[in-house]
Structure 1
Amino acid sequence: MIKLYTIKGGVELTSNIAPCLLLLEELRTPYQVIELNIDNMEHKSESFLKISPNGLLPCLDDEGSIFWETISINCYLAEKYHPEVFSTNLKDKALIRQWLFWSASEFQYNVSSYLMLYAMPQYQRNTEYLEIFKSRIIANTKLINNQLNGKKFIIGNTITLADIQILPFMNIHYLLKTDITLYPNFRIWFKMLMKGLYLERLYEKKLIKSPYTNS
């Protein structure tokens, strides 16, 4: 059985673990979750370091085949269990990779940088840098909005790994209080997937925490 190592107590949607959980639910393939207590440094234990040398989560064990890094895990899962979400068309597969790499190197960097600054005590926050990363996230969202013009999903009219990878990190807009009506293509895509990607099931399992709210 597939085993996914994650954080005990659930993760935020903006965690690198969330895309793996979303894809596993999309696969409808039985899987086991192994939750590690990071407060007790279980992810740095000798036994776990034998599985994931970096001591980082997520980590996947599929009958002894070990993978770490979110995109690597999801590419493996998709190709083995659900090839449609990684496409069998060479051009589309290249486009999916393009958006996966963009998400990891550009968009997710901006989101994680904003969240790290936001998590600091208010008197220590660098508001100038917060605004810089906020503006970058908005620019990233405009790019997605333009990409979705005339399409249901990022690559076309079928959900792919690109959508599954990017969606969770767009949850940052709850925290930013973004008026997403300014980006109509993005808004339709975001609302549709937030309702349709088995999130309620993951909330019920307490593997993913409920989204940020505007309150």
Structure 2
Amino acid sequence: MTLKIHGIAASRAARPLWLLEELGVPYEHVSQSYLGGATRTPEFLALNPNGHIPVLEDDGIVVWESMATTLYLARKFGGPLAPGNLAEEAEALRWTFWAVTECEKDALSVLMHRVAMPADRRDHAVADQAEGNLARPLAILDAHLATRPYIAGERFTVVDVNVASVLAWAQPSRKLMEANPKLADWLKRCLDRPAHQKVRQLAKTGR
């Protein structure tokens, strides 16, 4: 059975798509939108009863939640993006969960209310509040990156995919990037990688 990723690239499905492109693993991309009730059909709900993308199908195994899909793929295929030992796995787990619990909601608010939404719908107060909320967690990661080039150490791994995919939403905030130069440099290096750029181009096509 072919490995499948359900979800358009302009969504959290970008996370497993990015990882698969990094790994060079063949996969089928099912360009599944979340609009217009497309994830509420009986067929889709049989895959993910929550009605969200992405969903990964792999030889009878179904995984949903975007961060779970990337961690699963890293575990299955190994290679340089997988944790090499228990200490690196601990880094991958703690920073992945940290990105979701401490950063994701506010990073998305920055993206939506600084650049993504039409100008007449943006609420600068919401963006300002989100930037304020992100100041402390981003400073924590900035300090962590002062002693290493990547989150788990000397090389780019799955945790960099996971965290960068969240903090990319906060990149439009010049204030946050200027206050955290180590983080900003790391984030740019992650997002400039060819695999990520390929997924970005895919997102622009609406697939």
Same fold? TM cut 0.5: yes
Aligned to 2:5: 4
On the 8 A contact 1:86/1:96 being kept in 2, the answer is no
On the 8 A contact 1:85/1:160 being kept in 2, the answer is yes
CA distance in 2, matches of 1:106, 1:123: 25
Aligned to 2:156: 159
Q: 2:127 aligns with which of 126, 130, 134?
A: 130
> Residue 134 and residue 165 in structure 1: after superposition, are their counterparts in 2 closer, same or farther (change >3 A)?
same
On the 8 A contact 1:84/1:160 being kept in 2, the answer is yes
SS of aligned partner of 1:48: helix
Bigger shift: residues 174-183 or 21-30: 174-183
Gaps of 5+ in 2: none
On the 8 A contact 1:107/1:140 being kept in 2, the answer is yes
Aligned to 1:72: 68
1:132, distance to aligned residue in structure 2 (A): 1.9
1:193, distance to aligned residue in structure 2 (A): 1.4
Q: 1:62 aligns with which of 54, 58, 61?
A: 58
Bigger shift: residues 79-88 or 43-52: 79-88
Aligned pairs for 1:23-34 (under 5 A) are: 23-34=19-30
Q: Give CA deviations for 1:25-77 in whole Å, capped at 9, x if unaligned.
A: 11110011101233332211111111111110000001221110012111111
1:120, distance to aligned residue in structure 2 (A): 8.3
**2:39 corresponds to 1:38:** no
Q: 1:95 aligns with which of 91, 95, 105?
A: 91
Gaps of 5+ in 1: 211-215
Aligned to 1:213: none
> Residue 203 and residue 133 in structure 1: after superposition, are their counterparts in 2 closer, same or farther (change >3 A)?
closer
SS of aligned partner of 1:44: coil
Fraction of identical pairs, as percent: 23
On the 8 A contact 1:134/1:176 being kept in 2, the answer is yes
1:189, distance to aligned residue in structure 2 (A): 1.1
Counterpart amino acid of 1:134? Answer: E
CA distance in 1, matches of 2:122, 2:103: 24
How many equivalent pairs are there?
A: 202
Q: Give CA deviations for 1:188-210 in whole Å, capped at 9, x if unaligned.
A: 21221122251232234x2x349
1:104, distance to aligned residue in structure 2 (A): 1.1
Bigger shift: residues 174-183 or 70-79: 174-183
CA distance in 2, matches of 1:50, 1:68: 12
1:134, distance to aligned residue in structure 2 (A): 1.0
> Residue 195 and residue 130 in structure 1: after superposition, are their counterparts in 2 closer, same or farther (change >3 A)?
closer
Counterpart amino acid of 2:15? Answer: P
